[in-house]
Structure 1
Amino acid sequence: MTVYNRYRTLLHQLALVRARAPGGDSPEADALLDSMDEVWDALSEGERAALERERARLAVSASDARAVPA
């Protein structure tokens, strides 16, 4: 699995976790976010830009996906 696909998988998992437990943090979401942080560092700028669009499509806010630098 490529780094890009790994991040996409984590992003989709986060969206599912957030849908199950809206408005609250969970240990599962925290673990996903930690993994996303690690994978984000290995992505190219082009991959990051593409994932920004994917994240917007999934309606995962920047505060939920803290792997995306401010």
Structure 2
Amino acid sequence: MTVYDRYRTLLHKLALVRARAPGGESPEADALLDAMDEVWDAMSEGERAAMERERARLAEASDAREVHA
């Protein structure tokens, strides 16, 4: 698994954890964020740029779901 794929996996896990406990912090979310920081540091500039685009796309999709709910 590439570092980019690892970060994507962690990002999706974080979304699931936050969906289970909206608005609240949790030890699980904190651990995921710490792991994401480590993986982010290992990513290349190109991988980081691609991930920023993906995170923006995921945020837009999340906002759209909230509007329709």
Q: Same fold (TM over 0.5)?
A: yes
Query: Is the partner of 1:4 in helix, strand or coil?
Result: helix
| RMSD of Structure 2 on Structure 1 (CA) | 0.8
**Counterparts of 2:50 and 2:20, CA distance in 1:** 26
| Structure 1 stretches of 4+ moved >4 Å | none
The TM-score with structure 1 as length reference comes to 0.79
- Matched residue SS, 1:58: helix
Which residue of 1 is the match for residue 35 of structure 2?
A: 35
User: For residues 19-63 of structure 1, what are the alpha-carbon distances to aligned partners after superposition, in whole Å with 9 as ceiling and x for unaligned?
Assistant: 11111100110000000010000101110011011112222xxxx
**Length, aligned pairs only:** 59
Structure 1 residue aligned with 2:64: none
Aligned counterpart, 2:56: 56
Alignment TM-score, normalising by the size of structure 2: 0.80
Match of 2:63 in 1: none
Cα distance in 1 for partners of 2:51, 2:30 equals 19
Alpha-carbon distance in structure 2 between the residues aligned to 1:39 and 1:51: 12
Larger % of helix: which? 2
The yes-or-no answer on 1:6 pairing with 2:6 is: yes
User: Unaligned 5+ residue runs, structure 2?
Assistant: 60-69
Gaps of 5+ in 1: 60-70
d(CA) in 1 for partners of 2:46, 2:17: 27
Give the % identical residues.
90
Counterpart contact for 1:7–1:40, Cα < 8 Å: yes
